[in-house]
Amino acid sequence: MIVPREIQTTDAVAEHYDELDPFYREIWGEHVHHGLWTSGREAPDEAVEALVAHLADTLDLRPGQHVCDVGCGYGATAEWLARHYDVRVTGVTVSSAQLRQARTRSTASPLLHFIRQDWLENTFADETFDHVIAIESSEHMSDKQRFFDEVFRTLRPGGRLAIYAWLARDGARRWEERYLLEPICREGRLPSMGSEAEYRAWASNAGLVVDGFEDLSARVRRTWALCTRRVATKLLTHSRYRRYLLDARAKNRIFALSVPRIWIAYLTGSMRYGLLRAHKP
């Protein structure tokens, strides 16, 4: 497991997303996660929704079921699932800025509910959800084993878990940790970055049965080429971006360095992206 030199707390994660909120929405859009390319000709918005659809295909969603979206961002994924599958979705985020945006969606749909809460300290009763999903949020959890333990506790018997996660290469070399993986964790407010083997172990230790893992690294890495180009363009054409990077009071401006760094990490194979599927017996 890759651990950054500086401890990253839940408060630091929340501050990261609150401070960078306008930039995330301009660079990433309403879905704050990777896109999934199959032909390579998909538009970015199509690729982003394809990632959600691919996850949904693994869950056997049925009308009326209750899904928890851990790290729900702006609520776009929850809204997509509710619209396409007629399921109830409870979204959890630690970011106040994200919650404000997400709640504009819930006012238009009785199937959506969003709260600001730390998943590791959640107040949900045992066996609340039919399914739990986490799209690029488990990386922000300081205690990965507890993340999975809470999934097991809140899932109903037979319920399913689907996670998209940023992963470190198994047996990452020293230079990969020093120049790519550790800085990515520190700059992106990740308390740690696990490997596929560690994610499998955490799930199994929690009592979940791992149903499979899919390496999607090659199909998502284009996301970071696009983001790198978008950031560069914004810096050249928008003074607000330049002012932010030069503002010494901006605690999260260093994340700009991680955008090209993550792209390089994918190209070198130092970083992976995978879909882990599991269920509660």
Gap between the terminal Cα atoms of the chain: 28
pLDDT the model gives residue 27 = 77
pLDDT the model gives residue 227 = 83
pLDDT the model gives residue 127 = 98
Is 21 domain-assigned?
yes
Is 170 domain-assigned?
yes
Going through the chain in order, the beta strands assigned E by DSSP cover 66-70, 88-93, 112-116, 129-135, 155-168, 209-215, 271-279
Consecutive 10-residue runs of the chain (281 residues): their mean pLDDT?
Answer: 94 91 81 89 92 96 97 96 97 96 93 97 97 97 97 98 96 94 94 97 98 96 87 80 74 77 93 98 97
Is 1 domain-assigned?
no
Is 3 domain-assigned?
no
Is 188 domain-assigned?
yes
Is 77 domain-assigned?
yes
pLDDT the model gives residue 163 = 98
pLDDT the model gives residue 193 = 97
pLDDT the model gives residue 267 = 93
3-state SS class at 70: strand
Please state the domain count of the chain: 1
Which residue bears the tokens 């501050």? 15
* Residues pairing with 279 in the sheet: 160, 209
76: alpha, beta or left? (left if phi > 0; alpha if psi -120 to 50):
alpha
Rounded CA separation 71/169 (Å): 23
Question: Which structural domain range is residue 58 located in?
Answer: 10-279
pLDDT the model gives residue 111 = 97
User: Residue 27's domain is classified under what CATH number?
Assistant: 3.40.50.150
Is 5 domain-assigned?
no
Is 2 domain-assigned?
no
